[in-house]
């Protein structure tokens, strides 16, 4: 009987508690990965749009100076 009391007062984590924590961390990591991918795609789209606008401006300047578009 005394041995059972010592075991019940032990302050260690159970396997179920550890599995729950690891599962929650996995879910959070999956969510963070998806958010990171979406943010990187949004950044890539923004960079491409900025590059296109820069090229458009350069073509307008070229045309205004030369009265024709480059070949």
Task: Answer whether 0.75 is exceeded by the pTM.
Answer: no
Domain chopping of the chain, boundaries: 30-71
pLDDT tens for 5-26 read 555 566 788 999 999 999 999 9
Task: Tell me the pLDDT tens digit for each residue of 25-50.
Answer: 999 999 999 999 999 999 999 999 99
Distance CA 30, CA 6 (A): 40
Average pLDDT over residues 50-64: 98
DSSP 8-state assignment for residue 67: S
């Amino acid at each position: 009987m005394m041995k059972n009391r010592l075991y019940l007062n032990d302050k260690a984590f159970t396997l179920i508690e550890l599995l729950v924590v690891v599962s929650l961390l996995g879910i959070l990591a999956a969510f963070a990965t998806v958010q990171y991918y979406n943010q990187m795609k949004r950044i890539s789209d923004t960079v491409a749009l900025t590059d296109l606008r820069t090229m458009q401006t350069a073509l307008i300047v070229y045309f205004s100076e030369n009265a024709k578009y480059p070949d």
